[in-house]
């Protein structure tokens, strides 16, 4: 009978760890009004991006929506990160799996924040590469996604080591 208290303790610890892991890292109260505000939250944005990539779309506690809202609010006013969403393939992917838009923007923004040293050294193709790799990763890990031949083509290019070249050549043909 001494086993039961241990099992109950393990069960309760498992539940509490699972609940804690699902809470998003969005700051409890934040203000995004001045350029300094956006800079102040850059680490939080990276944490939110990482959390969104690890959290399934069908999370029932509403934390994904809170994280998405914070990320969109930050992206819409950020003086340092601007994302171009006009690529045809990206638009087609967004039609099938709208949530992958956040993956693309997250990968792109994370690259932009972590690799910038000055504005002249920013490589838009590497930012797009990070965005597309984030799409591939989330697509492959997400159970509730719609099948998408575009993402599967990108994944194949990536596995062959050709994705970066494809971005530089095919997306450059606009």
Domain-embedded: residue 14? no
Residue 155 has pLDDT above 90, yes or no: yes
Residue with tokens 């930012």, as numbered in its chain:
127
Domain-embedded: residue 4? no
Domain-embedded: residue 12? no
Condensed to tens digits (0 to 9), the pLDDT of residues 96-105 reads 999 999 999 9
Chain centroid to CA 142: 13
Q: Looking at residue 142, what is its pLDDT?
A: 93
Domain-embedded: residue 88? yes
Q: Looking at residue 50, what is its pLDDT?
A: 97
Mean pLDDT (the chain, rounded): 86
How far apart (Å, rounded) are the C-alpha atoms in residues 164 and 130?
A: 10
Domain-embedded: residue 55? yes
What residues make up the domain containing 109?
A: 32-173
Domain-embedded: residue 16? no
Residue 17 has pLDDT above 70, yes or no: no
pLDDT tier for residue 128 given thresholds of 50, 70 and 90: very high
Domain-embedded: residue 69? yes
Q: What percent of the chain has pLDDT over 70?
A: 83
Q: How many domains does the chain have?
A: 1
Residue 15 has pLDDT above 80, yes or no: no
Output the pTM of the full model.
0.83
pLDDT tier for residue 7 given thresholds of 50, 70 and 90: very low
Q: Looking at residue 20, what is its pLDDT?
A: 42
């Amino acid at each position: 009978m001494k086993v039961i208290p241990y099992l109950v303790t393990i069960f309760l610890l498992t539940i509490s760890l699972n609940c804690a892991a699902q809470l998003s890292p969005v700051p409890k109260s934040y203000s995004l009004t001045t350029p300094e505000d956006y800079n102040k939250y850059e680490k939080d944005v990276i944490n939110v991006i990482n959390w969104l990539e690890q959290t399934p779309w069908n999370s029932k506690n509403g934390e994904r929506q809170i994280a998405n809202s914070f990320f969109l609010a930050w992206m819409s006013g950020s003086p340092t990160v601007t994302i171009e969403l006009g690529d045809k393939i990206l638009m087609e992917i967004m039609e099938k799996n709208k949530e992958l838009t956040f993956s693309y923007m997250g990968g792109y923004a994370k690259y932009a924040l972590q690799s910038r040293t000055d504005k002249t050294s920013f490589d838009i193709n590497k930012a797009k590469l990070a965005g597309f790799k984030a799409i591939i990763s989330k697509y492959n890990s997400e159970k509730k996604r719609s099948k998408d031949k575009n993402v599967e083509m990108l994944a194949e290019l990536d596995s062959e080591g050709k994705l970066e070249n494809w971005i530089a050549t095919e997306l450059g043909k606009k």
